[in-house]
């Protein structure tokens, strides 16, 4: 069959064979063409027309194509569909007589390595992550090739792995084949939102990886990077490097250091905390709208934006480090003038982090270089704008910045001030930079002047006043004479082309000048391109300095940003210490206070400690402000530990090692599991991983099941935190009033409620937190607000009164006393569910929708009777 194919098709199939998992863009002239299944798929995703092309005797094959200059947009769309694209270019000029030009894959673009900068969101890193597992131990390596960041770590716990995955949110994740087939992989896939690329296991092999890393970074050992004792991380890093080199077809000079980190350096937040606290992404569309990031982000540079995002998702644990950041923020907070100057200058600085990485990867064009040069030109000014007594963190940052006088000099003397986008059409290099180039340019200008002069001379010689000299790409220079004057044309003119009203001629001397001009123009273009590439390589070799300075600029951006936001939003500096207290005076929810339009945000205090006020049970009706209150405490803690000011009048915060959040929010089904199951799994995770320094936020847990179960579980969970997680602080928002009884039984528990005022039939939410419980049940109020018939409301009140008085609480007490006898071993939420009261089983089987109110009451009476008999037995 293959002998029946055209040579081009054969070449195509050879290349395609090597790149089965990617859509192959095959360069034909000015187009990229796709064939076979690639064509069908791409046509569908890209909405382009599917045609066909003769492939030889075998007949026609499906084909679609797109203009090469528009490729980036189409690639972006395919990448967003989780596909890879292999770019196969012509790697030699087509020459006459040659049957087929040589073609080669020059780049493979994958979701994690896509760096077309106009299509890349500048505020987020585009990470690619490589994952390696051995039993319950995990190695991670991740990189952003547009910034040269490369980090590794190891984790020994699944939950930490998942929260790390969620925090990094890689666009693409490399996993070993054996892992992809193992049973732990499904959960991994569920957490990981990016594309998955399965790689052969041997790529993650330690010895091979070690060799790869040593070769790449030109080091003898990994000690300098601090990952010498992390074999799984090394395996992951080696696999990642190999994959990047293979797809980029580049030496990746911009990746020149490995940063090893440990999850224990940062506050750990479980996945749910990231989600529910809406730190950097909201829960609706995963954008930054309505998040803490949005409130805090008034940064002036893209690299500052990215750094701010990292700070939010990695709050610190070390009080000294936190204080150093706070001091730095304070400096900009106190000096409005300096803050303004710095922020004005930052506005003039482009994304030097990504620009210099592009330069180093050989992907920058002349405009990028000019932007880099002009940005670097502001660094010295930025340094000088920081005056007076500066805190150590800022001093270090200022010292870390290079003014790049040399590099700017190279670029300014060489590059034309406004070069074009394309690199091979000339116009890149300044006059006076290279004498050879100047000479060629002189030749061209001179030649063109000669041609202009020729027109005048020929008009005089022939007497044809309308004679014109023109130029087009096909014929080059010509002399044009209108039909009416053809008689006057001299004999040495050579006819070249006939138009409707005119004839075009050439002369030997005109052609001679022409080839001189065109030859010189060609040479100019080549020479300019060469000079440009040399300059780019030279600047690219300075990547280490450039990256360091970019990082310092980002740092100043974030610090001055946090100060600016603190001033504008009236934040204050928190005291952060190693104690276990948490005291916030007039704290606010940073996001909600900005969103509320027609009402003022009501601030609230909190005073928690390791003694009598460790666990708060917070009650209040629906919409009273419970969730807001407990979330704002978590957010204030995070903001303080990232080194920023907080939305409160005063705050004193003992460092928290982990924040856990469990929100029994929506009742939607969740990957096939019932909400309740998910809720229980997540709660179990909290109880098994929290420490005595953790902050636990539980919002309405136990809601996804019957009241009996719900209250029981909630009660047991609180009890567990109280007994086993000594020191941990917890806030528990609930509408189960029964839980308020816990405060009477255990000394670390306090009751709080959100106050409400009744105005006749109305209830007004005051959003003020007060000690104690609220005795009214506002669920019924809400029912009233919703327009339920008065009869139902009053009947509900009566039933409620009954329930509250006797059997309900009595029954619960019975269960809790049983529970309290159990001691020791890890907490397992499921261990006791087999022992439920038979009545619960019957309630479960009841179809409430089919019961008349009367039948329901009858049932209720029946249950009550049985239960009271039960109690007597």
Q: Which is nearer to Mg ion, 363 or 626 (CB)?
A: 626
Q: Which is nearer to Mg ion, 365 or 627 (CB)?
A: 627
Q: Which is nearer to ligand ADP, 580 or 755 (CB)?
A: 755
Q: Decide which of ligand ADP, Mg ion, none touches 602; Cβ closer than 5 to 8 Å per partner kind.
A: ligand ADP
Q: How far apart are CA 64 and CA 707, in angstroms?
A: 60
Positions in 681-740 near ligand ADP (CB under 6 A): none
Cβ 740 to Mg ion shortest distance, Å: 17
Q: Decide which of ligand ADP, Mg ion, none touches 624; Cβ closer than 5 to 8 Å per partner kind.
A: ligand ADP
Is position 620 an interface residue for ligand ADP (rule: CB under 6 A)?
A: yes
By C-alpha distance, which of 551, 211, 216, 106 is closest to 357? Answer: 551
Sorted by sequence, the CB contacts under 8 Å of residue 218 that are 6+ apart come out as none
Sorted by sequence, the CB contacts under 8 Å of residue 813 that are 6+ apart come out as none
Positions in 334-363 near ligand ADP (CB under 6 A): none
Q: Which is nearer to ligand ADP, 235 or 620 (CB)?
A: 620
Phi, psi of 704 (to 5 degrees): -80, 10
Q: Decide which of Mg ion, ligand ADP, none touches 260; Cβ closer than 5 to 8 Å per partner kind.
A: none
Is position 712 an interface residue for Mg ion (rule: CB under 5 A)?
A: no
Sorted by sequence, the CB contacts under 8 Å of residue 23 that are 6+ apart come out as 34, 38, 41, 42, 78, 83, 84, 85, 86
Is position 283 an interface residue for ligand ADP (rule: CB under 6 A)?
A: no
Cβ neighbours around 856 below 10 Å, total: 13
Q: Which is nearer to ligand ADP, 596 or 860 (CB)?
A: 596
Is position 621 an interface residue for Mg ion (rule: CB under 5 A)?
A: no
Cβ 575 to ligand ADP shortest distance, Å: 23
Q: Binding marks (x or -) toward Mg ion, 577..616, rule CB under 5 A?
A: ----------------------------------------
| Start-to-end C-alpha separation, the chain | 88
Q: CB nearest Mg ion: which residue?
A: 627
Cβ neighbours around 202 below 10 Å, total: 11
Q: How large is the angle between the packed helices 508-540 and 352-360, nearest 10 degrees?
A: 110
Is position 767 an interface residue for ligand ADP (rule: CB under 6 A)?
A: yes
Listed ranges 46-54, 487-495, 544-552, 599-607: which one lies at the site for ligand ADP (CB under 6 A): 599-607
Q: Decide which of ligand ADP, Mg ion, none touches 426; Cβ closer than 5 to 8 Å per partner kind.
A: none
Q: Which is nearer to Mg ion, 86 or 780 (CB)?
A: 780
The number of angstroms, rounded, from the C-alpha of 775 to the middle of its chain's C-alpha atoms is: 46
- Cα distances from 582 to residues 225, 579, 585, 587, 630, in angstroms, run 37, 9, 10, 12, 13
Is position 868 an interface residue for ligand ADP (rule: CB under 6 A)?
A: no
Q: Which is nearer to ligand ADP, 260 or 627 (CB)?
A: 627
Cβ 307 to ligand ADP shortest distance, Å: 31
Q: How far apart are CA 149 and CA 554, in angstroms?
A: 14
By C-alpha distance, which of 776, 766, 770, 696 is closest to 735? Answer: 776
Is position 627 an interface residue for ligand ADP (rule: CB under 6 A)?
A: yes
Is position 626 an interface residue for ligand ADP (rule: CB under 6 A)?
A: yes
Is position 601 an interface residue for ligand ADP (rule: CB under 6 A)?
A: yes
Cβ neighbours around 519 below 10 Å, total: 14
Q: How far apart are CA 556 and CA 553, in angstroms?
A: 5
Is position 643 an interface residue for ligand ADP (rule: CB under 6 A)?
A: no
Q: Decide which of ligand ADP, Mg ion, none touches 601; Cβ closer than 5 to 8 Å per partner kind.
A: ligand ADP
Listed ranges 83-91, 420-428, 620-628, 824-832: which one lies at the site for Mg ion (CB under 5 A): 620-628
Q: Any idea which residue has 């084949």 for tokens? A: 177
Listed ranges 123-131, 155-163, 610-618, 622-630: which one lies at the site for Mg ion (CB under 5 A): 622-630
Site size toward ligand ADP (CB under 6 A) is 13
Q: How far apart are CA 670 and CA 459, in angstroms?
A: 86
Q: What value, to the nearest 5°, has the Cα angle with vertex 629 and ends 627 and 631?
A: 65
Cβ 572 to ligand ADP shortest distance, Å: 18
Which residue from 79, 326, 328, 602 is in contact with ligand ADP, where contact means CB under 6 A? 602
Listed ranges 76-84, 122-130, 626-634, 783-791: which one lies at the site for ligand ADP (CB under 6 A): 626-634
Listed ranges 384-392, 566-574, 613-621, 626-634: which one lies at the site for Mg ion (CB under 5 A): 626-634
Positions in 830-849 near ligand ADP (CB under 6 A): none
Q: Decide which of ligand ADP, Mg ion, none touches 26; Cβ closer than 5 to 8 Å per partner kind.
A: none
Q: Decide which of Mg ion, ligand ADP, none touches 850; Cβ closer than 5 to 8 Å per partner kind.
A: none
SS3 of residue 300 by DSSP: coil
Q: How far apart are CA 670 and CA 140, in angstroms?
A: 27
Quick one: CA torsion of 460, 463, 465, 470, rounded to 10 degrees?
-70
If residue 732 lies in a helix (H) or strand (E), which one and from where to where?
Answer: strand 729-733
Cβ 772 to ligand ADP shortest distance, Å: 17
Cβ 625 to Mg ion shortest distance, Å: 8
The number of angstroms, rounded, from the C-alpha of 257 to the middle of its chain's C-alpha atoms is: 22
Q: Which is nearer to Mg ion, 272 or 627 (CB)?
A: 627
Asked whether 643 and 562 are in contact (CB, 8 A), the reply is yes
Positions in 400-459 near ligand ADP (CB under 6 A): none
The number of angstroms, rounded, from the C-alpha of 577 to the middle of its chain's C-alpha atoms is: 31
Cβ 628 to Mg ion shortest distance, Å: 8
Listed ranges 211-219, 292-300, 621-629, 821-829: which one lies at the site for Mg ion (CB under 5 A): 621-629
- Walk across the sheet containing 103-109 and list its strands: 51-54, 60-67, 31-35, 22-28, 84-90, 103-109
- Judged by phi (left if over 0) then psi (alpha if -120 to 50, else beta), residue 249 lies in left
Q: Which is nearer to ligand ADP, 478 or 767 (CB)?
A: 767
Listed ranges 74-82, 174-182, 259-267, 622-630: which one lies at the site for ligand ADP (CB under 6 A): 622-630
Is position 590 an interface residue for ligand ADP (rule: CB under 6 A)?
A: no
Listed ranges 32-40, 517-525, 623-631, 865-873: which one lies at the site for Mg ion (CB under 5 A): 623-631
SS3 of residue 290 by DSSP: coil
Q: How far apart are CA 521 and CA 658, in angstroms?
A: 66
Q: Decide which of ligand ADP, Mg ion, none touches 628; Cβ closer than 5 to 8 Å per partner kind.
A: ligand ADP
Cβ 753 to Mg ion shortest distance, Å: 13
Q: Which is nearer to ligand ADP, 259 or 622 (CB)?
A: 622
If residue 131 lies in a helix (H) or strand (E), which one and from where to where?
Answer: strand 128-134
SS3 content of the chain, % helix, strand, coil (to 5): 50, 20, 30
Is position 623 an interface residue for ligand ADP (rule: CB under 6 A)?
A: yes
Number of residues written out for the chain: 873
Q: Is 663 exposed, middle or buried (0-12, 13-18, 19+ CB in 10 A)?
A: buried
Asked whether 769 and 618 are in contact (CB, 8 A), the reply is yes
Cβ 373 to ligand ADP shortest distance, Å: 49
By C-alpha distance, which of 154, 160, 136 is closest to 657? Answer: 160
Sorted by sequence, the CB contacts under 8 Å of residue 805 that are 6+ apart come out as none
Is position 628 an interface residue for ligand ADP (rule: CB under 6 A)?
A: yes
Which residue from 296, 467, 624, 701 is in contact with ligand ADP, where contact means CB under 6 A? 624
Q: How far apart are CA 288 and CA 282, in angstroms?
A: 6
The number of angstroms, rounded, from the C-alpha of 687 to the middle of its chain's C-alpha atoms is: 29
Q: What is the largest CA-CA distance in the chain?
A: 131
Which residue from 147, 268, 604, 627 is in contact with Mg ion, where contact means CB under 5 A? 627
Q: Decide which of Mg ion, ligand ADP, none touches 623; Cβ closer than 5 to 8 Å per partner kind.
A: ligand ADP
Q: List contacts with Mg ion (CB under 5 A).
A: 627
List interacting residues with ligand ADP (CB under 6 A). Answer: 596, 599, 601-602, 620, 622-628, 767
């Amino acid at each position: 069959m293959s002998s029946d194919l055209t040579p081009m098709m054969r070449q195509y199939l050879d290349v395609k064979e090597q790149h089965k998992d990617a859509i192959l863009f095959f360069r034909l002239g000015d187009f990229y063409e796709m064939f076979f299944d690639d064509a069908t798929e791409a046509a569908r995703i890209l909405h382009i027309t599917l045609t066909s092309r003769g492939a030889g005797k075998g007949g026609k094959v499906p084909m679609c194509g797109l203009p090469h200059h528009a490729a980036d947009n189409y690639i972006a769309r395919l990448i967003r569909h989780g596909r890879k694209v292999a770019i196969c270019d012509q790697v030699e000029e087509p020459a006459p007589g040659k049957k087929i030009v040589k073609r080669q894959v020059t780049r493979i673009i994958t979701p994690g390595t896509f760096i077309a900068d106009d299509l890349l969101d500048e505020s987020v890193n585009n990470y690619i992550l490589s994952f390696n597992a051995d039993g319950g131990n995990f190695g991670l390596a991740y990189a952003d090739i547009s910034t040269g960041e490369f980090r590794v770590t190891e984790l020994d716990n699944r939950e930490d792995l998942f929260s790390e995955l969620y925090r990094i949110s890689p666009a693409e994740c490399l996993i070993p084949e054996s892992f992809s087939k193992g049973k732990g992989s499904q959960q991994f896939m569920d957490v990981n939102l990016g594309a998955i690329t399965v790689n052969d296991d041997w790529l993650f092999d330690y010895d091979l990886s070690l060799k790869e890393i040593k070769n790449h970074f030109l080091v003898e050992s990994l000690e300098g990077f601090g990952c010498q004792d992390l074999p799984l991380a090394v395996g992951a890093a080696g696999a990642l490097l190999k994959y990047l080199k293979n797809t980029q077809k580049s030496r990746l000079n911009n990746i020149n250091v490995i940063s090893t980190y440990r999850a224990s350096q940062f506050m750990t937040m479980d996945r749910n905390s990231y989600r529910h606290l809406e730190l950097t992404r909201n829960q609706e569309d995963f954008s930054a709208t309505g998040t803490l990031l949005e409130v805090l982000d008034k940064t002036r540079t893209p690299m500052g934006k990215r750094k701010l995002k990292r700070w939010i998702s990695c709050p610190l644990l070390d009080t000294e480090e936190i204080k150093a950041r706070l001091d730095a923020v304070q400096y900009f907070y106190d000096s409005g003038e300096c803050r303004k100057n710095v922020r004005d200058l930052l506005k003039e600085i482009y994304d030097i982090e990504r620009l210099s990485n592009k330069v180093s990867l050989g992907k920058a064009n002349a405009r990028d270089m000019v932007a880099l040069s002009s940005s670097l030109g502001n660094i010295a000014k930025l340094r000088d704008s920081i005056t007076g007594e500066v805190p150590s963190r800022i001093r270090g940052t200022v010292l870390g910045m290079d003014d790049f006088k040399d590099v700017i000099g190279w670029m300014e003397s060489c590059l034309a001030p406004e070069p074009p986008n394309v690199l091979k059409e000339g116009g890149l290099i300044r006059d006076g930079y290279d004498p050879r180039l100047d000479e060629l340019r002189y030749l061209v200008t001179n030649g063109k002047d000669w041609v202009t002069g020729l027109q005048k001379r020929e008009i005089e010689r022939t007497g044809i006043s309308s004679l014109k000299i023109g130029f087009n790409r096909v014929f080059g220079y010509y002399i044009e004479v209108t039909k009416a004057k053809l008689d006057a044309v001299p004999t040495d003119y050579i006819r070249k082309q006939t138009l409707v009203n005119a004839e075009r001629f050439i002369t030997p001397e005109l052609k001679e000048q022409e080839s001189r001009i065109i030859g010189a123009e060609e040479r100019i273009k080549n020479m300019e391109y060469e000079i440009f590439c040399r300059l780019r390589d030279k600047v690219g070799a300075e990547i280490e300095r450039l990256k360091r300075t970019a990082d310092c600029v980002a740092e100043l951006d974030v610090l001055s940003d946090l100060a600016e936001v603190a001033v504008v939003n009236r934040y204050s500096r928190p005291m952060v210490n190693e104690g276990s207290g948490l005291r916030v005076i007039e704290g606010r929810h940073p996001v909600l206070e900005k969103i509320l339009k027609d009402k003022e945000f009501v601030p609230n205090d909190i005073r928690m400690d390791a003694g009598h006020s460790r666990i708060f049970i917070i009650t209040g009706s629906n919409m009273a402000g419970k969730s807001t209150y407990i979330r704002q405490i978590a957010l204030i803690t995070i903001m303080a530990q990232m080194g920023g000011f907080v939305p409160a009048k005063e705050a004193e915060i003992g460092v928290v090692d982990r924040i856990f959040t469990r929100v029994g929010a929506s009742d939607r089904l969740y990957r096939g599991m019932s909400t309740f199951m998910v809720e229980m799994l997540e709660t179990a995770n909290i109880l098994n991983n929290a420490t005595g320094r953790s902050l636990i936020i539980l919002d309405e847990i136990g809601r996804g099941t019957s009241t009996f179960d719900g209250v029981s579980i909630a009660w047991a969970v609180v009890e567990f935190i109280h007994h086993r997680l000594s020191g941990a602080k917890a806030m528990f928002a609930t509408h189960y009033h029964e839980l308020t009884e816990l405060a009477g039984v255990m000394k670390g528990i306090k009751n709080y409620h959100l106050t409400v005022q009744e105005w006749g039939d109305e209830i007004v939410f005051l959003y003020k937190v007060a000690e104690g419980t609220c005795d009214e049940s506002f669920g019924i109020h809400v029912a009233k607000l919703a327009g339920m018939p008065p009869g139902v409301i009053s009947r509900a009140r009566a039933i409620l009164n009954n329930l509250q008085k006797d059997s309900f609480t009595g029954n619960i007490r019975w269960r809790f006393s049983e529970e309290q006898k159990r001691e020791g071993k890890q907490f397992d939420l499921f261990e006791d569910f087999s022992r439920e009261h038979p009545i619960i089983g019957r309630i479960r089987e009841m179809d409430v929708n089919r019961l008349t109110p009367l039948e329901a009451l009858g049932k209720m009476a029946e249950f009550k009777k049985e239960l009271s008999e039960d109690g007597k037995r």
